[in-house]
Structure 1
Amino acid sequence: MSSEDDFGIPEEHAGQGLAIAAEALFLLNLLVIPGLGFLILAALWLKHRDSAPPLAVQHLKQATYVSFWGGLLIVGAISLIVATLGVHSEWSWVALILYFTCIHSTLVLLGMFALIKAMSGQVWRYPLIGPAAVHLPKQAKTK
């Protein structure tokens, strides 16, 4: 019988299924369902931030914070470029496409790395905009 906290992933470490779900939602937010992916991720964070195992909390926190700050960076930078160069300038479109491509691609690659870390039961901190990582004690494997 499965509980509401069973994410359908066999866990080697406590909270590994939730950690994988968090990083998968981060990538879904970037690639497939922007906005909706973030809302689901934020709901998981709010629900499990005080009750989940440390591995899951770490990945939920990282994915949620980076989704929020990454979104603000992209929207803010794009707004700044349009406000500075205007929407009709060719150079504004070059800057917009270049900036969006570089930042978005970087977030996708980092999200893939984070998913790999979650799948292997390891903590992860997104560089620059990720909150400080918690050093977890050695975890006992679960069956």
Structure 2
Amino acid sequence: MNAMAGAAEPDGQRLAVIAEALYLANLLLAPGIAFAALVWLWFRHKDAAPPLARQHLRQATYVSVVGGGLIVCLSAGLVALGGLHWPWTWVVVLTYFVCIHGALVLCGMFALAKAMAGQMWRYPLIGPQLTATDEGCR
């Protein structure tokens, strides 16, 4: 028998896992579609969700917006500065894109693991600060 079979799932854990899975799907599988689903989920549950789910929803939604800005806007800015025909522009843009995208995916995988474990987690550097109610639910 599974040792975890009798363990109760923390309130909001399922919603937290869905939020983090949508964050990763936005980066890896279905950009835009998964983001729209994540934003819809945030607006639907932001006020009534249990603290664990609310915190993961807030983190995933916020970091999706900031990460999108980091990837799209700064990459476009680098192309605008370097020009389309200068080969080093593409070296810089692709290196930047791979590093930022990889870091966001890695953080998203860690956040998904934390959500599956029923734990709070804040994305480093770009994640919003945990609130006092979030801290009390650890």
Question: TM-score normalised to the size of structure 2?
Answer: 0.90
User: Structure 1 vs Structure 2: percent identity of aligned residues?
Assistant: 57
Q: Which has the higher helix share?
A: 2
Q: Residue 13 of structure 1 aligns with which residue?
A: 10
4+ residue runs over 2 A deviation: none
Length, aligned pairs only:
129
Matches within 5 A, 1:44-59: 44-59=41-56
- In structure 2, distance between residues paired with 1:57 and 1:36: 21
Q: Which residue type is aligned with residue 40 of structure 1?
A: A
> Out of 102, 106, 109, which is 1:109 matched to?
106
Structure-1 separation of matches of 2:41 and 2:137: 23
Query: Shift of the alpha carbon at 1:12?
Result: 1.3
User: Hey, what's the Cα distance between the residues in 1 that align with 2:137 and 2:125?
Assistant: 24
TM-score (norm 1): 0.87
Alpha-carbon RMSD across the aligned residues, in angstroms, is 1.2
The 8 Å contact of residues 13 and 118 in structure 2, kept in 1 or not, is answered as yes
Asked if 1:39 is matched to 2:36, the reply is: yes
The answer to whether 1:126 aligns with 2:108 is: no
Going from structure 1 to structure 2, the CA distance change for 1:46 and 1:110 (only over 3 Å counts) comes to same
Contact 1:110/1:126 (8 A) holds in 2: yes
**Structure 1 gap ranges (5+):** 1-9, 139-143
Distance apart, 1:128 and its partner CA:
1.0
Q: Distance in 2 between matches of 1:26 and 1:57?
A: 14
